Amino acid sequence: MSKKIFEKLRKIKLVITIVIVAGVVTHLILVYDAAKSIKVVEKRIEGVYLIKPNEYEVRFSLSIFNPKRDIEIDYINYDVYIEDDYLGNGEKPHFILKKGSSQYEFTLHFTSSSISSATKDLLLAGEANVKIKGEIMIPAKFFGTFTWKHIKIPYTINEKVGIG
């Protein structure tokens, strides 16, 4: 009789294990599918603005289209360059990207002491080439807690902008 009980328990354990694995795999597939459908539909550098003497601000925006379902975003990061001079980086940390279109605005402050004299001259002349490179990082998690992989959506903006 105890052999039959152990056999039934083994079958119950197997069924529970299969249900848990199927649930985790299904969730990961849904997250991966939603993440791969996300598109950066518009990226725009608003401009470079003089805030006070020797201090500037770069403003840019991203429009993101999410056609599937609300999804967790670990962060959106960005590196900013003016005429190949690295200015700095930033990120928008953890948030939920809702289904549909969303627009996000970003800023980066820098001082003229952090750039070359040739780039300073271009800023003073009123126009410079600005390049922004970044990624949208979407976590793929087991049981909603352990991130085992990030799905990356890269973007690049490269525009000649006026200095305001």
The total of other beta-carbon atoms located within 10 Å of residue 25's CB is: 10
Length reported for the chain: 164
What's 115's DSSP letter? S
Q: Phi and psi of 12, rounded to 5°?
A: -65, -45
In tens, the pLDDT along 16-72 reads 888 888 777 777 777 788 888 899 999 999 999 989 888 999 999 999 999 988 989
In tens, the pLDDT along 89-120 reads 999 999 999 999 999 999 999 988 888 888 88
Residue type, 16: I
CATH number of the 2-162 domain:
2.60.40.10
What residue segments make up the domains of the chain, in order of their start?
Answer: 2-162
What is the pTM assigned to this prediction? 0.79
Q: What is the DSSP string of 30-73?
A: HHHHHHHH-EEEEEEEEEEEEEETTEEEEEEEEEEEE-S--EEE
Per-residue pLDDT band for 146 (boundaries 50, 70, 90) equals low
